[in-house]
């Protein structure tokens, strides 16, 4: 059976959880309820993220001598001696969890830092992959992460930049669509319809309306007020992503 995967990518606090639930409601399999991280104080609507993949991503990052919140440059994946073993492990995991699922999705911001691993594994399995890149105003995303984790804004800026630079560098020819968090929240039905079309997911108006109802704007507590000056590189990256938003590449 032909299998298609949707990779939901983006920095922490940028709406990837919300988007994973939307894609799930549009028909993509995420996993059994017990496989997924439930709601928490910092994400009351739920993470819609698999525990096993998050743990695997942490393991892969640790094998590279880093963690998800390390803003230093990532090493060249192809030069890592552990890369083949990690790719084989991911292939086995995908086969075990997603075999027989014509449309499935995975979400974890850590995947932004491990795209070569995912691309190689899915290529070996001959799984067609498309990606959603969620982008939120970095002032809001950085402020939210700084409050949640107690990090400096400088560190959060560096992490934001690293995640999106990695995504833009490694996606390459992988078909992907960039979605702006603010537009998805302000006009959910319109944006979800465009998203479904870009991903070639056939859904009706009822499914789109149902997915739109899953968005909970009352849970969004950080709104930009222009009080924090972003580094020039972050501003330039954000502007580039904004210009490419909702254009399938």
Tell me, what's the pLDDT at 225?
56
The answer to whether 163 touches 10, Cβ cutoff 8 Å, is yes
Tell me, what's the pLDDT at 48?
83
Q: pLDDT digits over 231-243, tens only?
A: 999 999 999 999 9
9 located within any domain: yes
Domain count, the chain: 1
Token pair recorded at residue 47: 């993470």
249 located within any domain: no
CB < 8 Å & 24+ apart, contacts of 206-214: 207/25, 207/26, 207/27, 208/26, 210/25, 211/21, 211/22, 211/25, 211/26, 212/188, 214/18, 214/21, 214/22, 214/25, 214/45
pLDDT over 80 at 226, yes or no: no
Tell me, what's the pLDDT at 198?
87
56 located within any domain: yes
Q: pLDDT digits over 51-85, tens only?
A: 999 999 999 999 999 999 999 999 999 999 999 99
Confidence of residue 227 (pLDDT cuts 50, 70, 90): low
Mean pLDDT of the chain: 91
134 located within any domain: yes
DSSP secondary structure code for residue 50 in this structure: B
Higher pLDDT, 78 or 248: 78
229 located within any domain: yes
Distance CA 171, CA 151 (A): 28
pLDDT over 80 at 131, yes or no: yes
Q: pLDDT digits over 133-192, tens only?
A: 999 999 999 999 999 999 999 999 999 999 999 999 999 999 999 999 999 999 999 999
pLDDT over 80 at 197, yes or no: yes
Confidence of residue 228 (pLDDT cuts 50, 70, 90): confident
76 located within any domain: yes
CA torsion sign, 69 to 105 to 124 to 128?
Answer: negative
CATH number where 29 lies: 3.40.50.300
Residue 92 structural domain: 4-244
């Amino acid at each position: 059976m032909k299998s298609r995967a949707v990779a939901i990518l983006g920095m922490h606090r940028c709406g990837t959880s919300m988007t994973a639930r939307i894609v799930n409601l549009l028909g993509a399999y995420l996993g059994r309820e017990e496989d997924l991280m439930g709601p928490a104080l910092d994400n009351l609507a739920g993470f819609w993220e698999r525990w096993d993949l998050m743990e695997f991503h942490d393991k892969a990052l640790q094998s590279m001598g880093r963690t998800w919140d390390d803003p230093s440059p990532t090493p060249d994946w192809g030069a890592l001696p552990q890369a083949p073993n990690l790719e084989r492990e991911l292939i086995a995991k995908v086969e075990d969890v997603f075999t027989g699922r014509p449309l499935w999705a995975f979400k974890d911001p850590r995947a932004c830092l491990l795209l070569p691993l995912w691309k190689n594994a899915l290529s070996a399995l001959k799984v067609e992959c498309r990606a959603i890149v969620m982008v939120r105003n970095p002032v809001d995303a950085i402020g939210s992460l700084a409050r949640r984790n107690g990090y400096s804004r400088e560190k959060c800026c560096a992490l934001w930049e690293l995640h999106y630079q990695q995504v833009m560098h490694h996606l390459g020819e992988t078909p992907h669509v960039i979605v702006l968090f603010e537009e998805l929240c302000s006009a959910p039905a319109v944006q979800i319809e465009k998203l479904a079309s870009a991903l070639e997911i056939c859904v009706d108006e009822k499914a789109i309306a149902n997915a739109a109802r899953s968005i909970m704007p009352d849970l969004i507590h950080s709104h930009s007020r222009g009080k924090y000056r972003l580094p020039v590189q972050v501003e330039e990256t954000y502007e580039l992503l904004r210009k490419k938003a909702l254009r399938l590449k």
